Amino acid sequence: MFKVKGRVYGKAADGRTVLRFSPGAVITDDEARAAGLLSGEPAAKKPARGLVVHSGRPAADDAPQPPKQLSRMNLAELRAACEAECVDVEGLNLRAELIEAIEAARAAGDED
């Protein structure tokens, strides 16, 4: 155990200077080594146990996004997909009708 004799400052992840330990605080030797109060290297940290949450976002913003499933698209997105794939939407008003038309056009395109 190590008793801190003066203020110990550190850097936060966003670059701000923060007070890590105040005078009189009792910390472990590994914490003191990590803060530079004792010579030597701190012991290797064990990985945290518990739930790991993955955001599902790609690693970079410019990475290609996977195409959205037709069943997950709203009406405006389906109309835009029809326009992009040159599908005639005359008289089609429902999502199911648009999805069916897109799938039929894709199937006809695969046969060619």
State whether residue 19 is helix, strand or coil: strand
Distance CA(62)–CA(77), nearest Å, equals 21
- pLDDT at residue 13 in the model: 84
Q: What count of Cα atoms within 13 Å lies in the side-chain half-sphere of residue 45? A: 7
In this model, does residue 1 exceed pLDDT 90?
Answer: no
Name the band, by pLDDT with cuts 50, 70 and 90, for residue 63: low
Separation of CA 104 from chain center: 35
The reported pTM is: 0.43
- 3 with 29: CB under 8 angstroms? no
- CB atoms under 10 Å from CB of 37, counted, come to 16
Distance CA(94)–CA(112), nearest Å, equals 28
- pLDDT at residue 67 in the model: 80
User: pLDDT tens for residues 4-56?
Assistant: 888 989 888 888 999 999 999 999 888 888 888 888 888 887 877 887 777 67
Structure tokens given for 54 = 């993955």
